[in-house]
Amino acid sequence: MAKIMSLGEAVRTFMHDGICMAVGGFTGFVRDPVAFVWEAIRQGYKDIHYLGGHPGIPTFLLHAAKRITVMEHCWMGFGEMFGKLDVNSTRLYEEGKLIYEDYSHAQMAFRQLAGAIGAPFIATYAPLGSDIENPKYDALKKAGLRDGKNPRIAKEKFLVMDDPFYGKGKLILVPSSNPELAVIHAQTVGDMGTVRVRGVVSGDKELAFSADKLVVTCEEIVPEESLRMEPERNLIPFVKVDAIVEVPWGAHPSSCPYYYDYDSKFIAEQNVACRDEASMKKWMDEWVYGPKDWREYIGKLGAVKLLDLRAEQTTGYSTRIMRGRKPAPTLFKPVSWNR
Amino acid sequence: MRPIEKIQQIPDVAAKVGEFTLPEVLAISASREVRNDDIVFAGTGLPMIGILTAQCLHAPSSVLIYEAGIMDGKSMHIPGSVSDARACYMSSTLGGLLDTFGFYLQRGLVTLGFLGGASIDQYGGVNVTCIGDYYTPENRLTGSGGNADIGTQSKRVVFIMLQEKRRFVEKNEYTTTPGWYGYEWPSGKWTRKKEIYKNTRFENYGPAAVISNMGVYRFDDNGIMYLETYHPGVTTEKIKDNCSFKLNVSKVKGETPHPTYKQLFALREYVDPERLFLPDPPDYPPDVKKIINSFS
């Protein structure tokens, strides 16, 4: 059964230098487990092998603090419409301080699926013909890391083979991904560990099952019984969960649908800060190392900000927050619906 | 009055130069590529905006898939991400990456992929990974994300991108997403996509159009890009100057159709009224303004 822990305790228990890990969510926008990563940076963990998982803010913070040394991933971005490129990561890469292995997003998703179902590899068409499969661009092999000594690093980046069963062309075999630790953020978790996620899921279920250990941070820990009246709405059974941490607003500045929206101004400020190292350091001092704890970080945002970010219960997002140069229009029906 | 009734009252007449901006030309050109029966897989930004505009106009039944797991979202407000709750609203089903990349894309349901790119070759192959050497790049870009997957497994693929000489290239320094030509691995042979994807359902899937800030391009039977129309205020000479491969301009039909007032009204008032993406637009002409004022 999962253990209920504080944020600090969970980070101390599950993190270590050189860990192979990944976290859930999607880019800078949905249920990024920011608080956990924020605390891990403050506790000083480094030399991380980041393996899959598609969040924007946690990887942005880890790169800003220079904690990831090896990364297998598909995207060096973070905030899409509010800040596309994660300059922290590209700066490290261009300086040769980050070993980065390019896969495509489908490949990473399928690698996680293989890990989650206990298969050592999986076949996919995605994306034949690309330089992603160019043997010259196998960064881990070039760094001498595919020698079989690290059980988390596959001996090959991929293999190409003909379909032996139906003759349907060539396929790419990609290795499973199995990190030591996965962290996801959910709206609610039962006190035994059953996880309920609302809104889009991204790759969180595969990620959860692919990892040896799973920490779930959440907005609320609720009585387990309340989640078992409609079990079809639950995503991950308690048996796979090792620790539960209640951290309200724990995904900020990404969103937690039906609780709060994403903080686009904050993401845009991060995007400006990362353009040079001095301003990034200043931003990190203010927002990561400055606050006494996560509660103080959220308090620092201010009550008005939190009021504007609070999500509406039918849509899951907020129309009070100013995302662009003009306020959101009041609509109760999509324009393209039922015409 | 419902928004759709308002849109229908605005004249579908071409606007004049000065009455629209370049991002609006791109968004409207993008929307024209969408058919009413399309199942579209689109990236954040202009691609998404183009499709949302099409849904307000000629393609209300087109289905939009967003990468994070969303099937047929019906947005009231413009999403800032392909995982935004605004994109999830009233969707048919919500899932995750395996739904979109597996059940929909690799299963062959997607008829139109809509993407961006940093540079493009004459076969419609795109680089979003690096400028310069792979390991010591001048500029490291985001890398594939879903670009390579969507760009090779959608029936038709449309790219929207900035045009400069160094972005329209003979051959990409790194081919993230192969167009009608790509690499056969492990040999590394540069060959037709048909060969690489032989005996798969994706053999004949590939680039259908490119929309740049200068013109609209299509592909001939050999998978080579040609100019179809140039945007208002742009000449074929300027386009050739901003293209480093020998561009076929013999099939040019003329100027890219101007956006109509109706299209501009839908885009400005119902797709991006929050101005997340669009710059402040110029005023509508008096006769159109009069109709709009009569709504309130």
> pLDDT tens-digit profile of A289-331?
999 999 999 999 999 999 999 999 999 999 999 999 999 998 8
Pairing mode, strands B181-184 and B126-127? unpaired
Give the Cβ contact number of residue B272 at 10 Å: 22
Residue B197 CA, distance from chain mean position: 23
Residue type, A102: D
pLDDT tens track for B30-54: 999 999 999 999 888 999 999 999 9
pLDDT tens, residue order, chain A (339 aa): 799 999 999 999 999 999 999 999 999 999 999 999 999 999 999 999 999 888 899 999 999 999 999 999 999 999 998 999 999 999 999 999 999 999 999 999 999 999 999 999 999 999 999 999 999 999 999 999 999 999 999 999 999 999 999 999 999 999 999 999 999 999 999 999 999 999 999 999 999 999 999 999 999 999 999 999 999 999 999 999 999 999 999 999 999 999 999 999 999 999 999 999 999 999 999 999 999 999 999 999 999 999 999 999 999 999 999 999 999 998 888 988 865
Query: Which domains are seen in chain B, by residue range?
Result: 3-295 (3.40.1080.10)
B67 given a catalytic annotation: yes
Nearest to B106 among A80, A125, A204 (CB): A125
- Give residue-wise pLDDT tens across range A134-188: 999 999 999 999 999 999 999 999 999 999 999 999 999 999 999 999 999 999 9
- Tell me how far CA of residue B194 lies from CA of A99, B87, B148, B149, in angstroms: 34, 34, 16, 16
Q: Which residues of A touch B57 (CB under 8 A)?
A: none
Chain A, 222 to 251: residues with Cβ < 8 Å from chain B are: none
Q: Give all domains of chain A, ordered by start, each with its CATH number.
A: 3-246 (3.40.1080.10)
Q: Which of B19, B24, B33, B67 is catalytic?
A: B67
Burial class (CB in 10 A: 0-12, 13-18, 19+), A95: exposed
Task: Enter the pTM of the model.
Answer: 0.97
Which residue in the set A90, A163, A337 is minimally distant from B90, CB to CB? A337
Average pLDDT in chain B: 96
Q: State ipTM.
A: 0.97
Nearest to A132 among B56, B148, B275 (CB): B148
Helices A87-94 & A57-64 angle (0-180, nearest 10)? 40
Cβ <8 Å between B76 and A335: yes
State the Cα–Cα distance between residues A271 and B254, nearest whole angstrom: 40
Chain B neighbors of A200, CB-CB under 8 A: 66, 68-70, 83, 85, 87-88, 94-96
Name residue A198's amino acid: R
Share of chain B above pLDDT 70, in %: 100
Confidence (pLDDT) at A338: 64
Q: What is the pLDDT at residue A337? A: 80
Whole-angstrom distance, CA of residue B32 vs CA of residue B41: 16
Tokens coding A21: 């890990």
Asked if residue B29 has pLDDT above 90, the reply is yes
Give the HSE-up count for residue A58: Cα atoms under 13 Å, Cβ half-sphere.
Answer: 29
pLDDT at B1: 85
Whether B90 shows a pLDDT value over 90: the answer reads yes
